[in-house]
Amino acid sequence: MATKNHYAFVIDVARCIDCRACLVACSVENNVPMDHTRIWVYDQGLQGTWPDLSRAFVPYNCMHCDNPPCTEVCVSGATYKDATSGLVLVDQEACIGCGYCVAACPYGARYIDQSRGVVDKCTACVQRLEVGLQPACVATCVGKSRLFGDLNDPTSEASLALKNAMSVTRLDYEGNGMDADPNIFYLNLPDTSSIKASDTFGQVPQSTLPRPSQYTLSEAGWKKVAIPLVAVAMGATFLAQAIFFTKQLIEGEKDFED
Ligand code: SF4
Ligand code: SF4
């Protein structure tokens, strides 16, 4: 389906340092429940044989596929491909929480938010795009590993990165007569042979998926510490600035009166 915009992520694996700032930014921006995440960083582990070893961290989220298997199975029409942005979105008012789309997604990019009984996943921070901002994960990425933009715009950051790339890997899913055509384009993905191997889902072996969309116990603890710390730090900065400017204002008024 041709859409007005063709938003895509371009992810340079060589630049990811596994700091996971993107996970925190996403959770804060989108109020993601504590025991879930909308995005992952998959540790490929050591690849190759000595001395030709490599290790890569692969950032990952919903691929906003051109032919999304998730929309095909949605019985309520809640999951749809937006005709303007091309993003795959969920109308959570219409979602009945049946979970068919969770099973249909070959990338494990969806989960059911048990507290609300609806499906949730990456929206590319559509609320930020509408006011001209980048998705929170992209804006926060310290290594500039995550890029995002409109492929219909040849001057977008994503278009330029793809134009200048030596090679690009798309973790395409081709199975059951479908070709998902995902919209995450990877640069510098070192070992594609394991990723291209067949499994029950076709070309996307489960071993290359990040993992189930739940945090481990230790990570849940980490998230519970990191997010409050970031919130407290932001609050303290705001308070300090407010005090500083109020002081300036009072002193300015005094000087004026004198
Ligand atoms: S990655 Fe999964 S959830 Fe996202 S559009 Fe593709 S099939 Fe749907
Ligand atoms: S913020 Fe960027 S560098 Fe850090 S883990 Fe996420 S993608 Fe990797």
Best of 13, 15, 19 for a ligand 2 pocket test (most atoms within 8 Å of beta carbon): 19
Confidence at residue 190, expressed as pLDDT on a 0 to 100 scale: 73
Residues of the chain with pLDDT > 70, as a percent, come to: 82
Q: Which residues contact 220 (CB under 8 A, 6 or more apart)?
A: 34, 35
pLDDT (tens digit per residue) in 172-209: 777 667 788 999 999 988 765 544 333 322 234 433 44
Token pair, residue 210, equals: 């990040």
Question: Which residue has the CA at smallest separation from atom 8 of ligand 2?
Answer: 16
- 87 close to 65: Cβ distance less than 8 angstroms: no
Pairing state between β 7-12 and 184-187: parallel
Render 88-152 in DSSP notation, one character per residue.
EEE-TTT-----HHHHH-TT---EEETTTTEEE-----HHHHTTTPPPHHHHH-TTS-EEEEETT
Question: Which residue has the CA at smallest separation from atom 2 of ligand 1?
Answer: 105
88 lines ligand 1 (CB under 6 A): yes
136-151 mean pLDDT: 97
Q: Which of 178, 50, 167, 31 is nearest to 107 (CA)?
A: 178
Residues comprising the chain, all counted? 258
Confidence at residue 20, expressed as pLDDT on a 0 to 100 scale: 92
Q: Which of 160, 203, 214 is nearest to 179 (CA)?
A: 203
Q: Any idea which ligand is nearest the CA of 72? A: 1
Confidence at residue 66, expressed as pLDDT on a 0 to 100 scale: 94
139 lines ligand 2 (CB under 6 A): no
Strand partners, 222: none
Cβ neighbourhood burial of 243 (10 Å; 0-12, 13-18, 19+): exposed
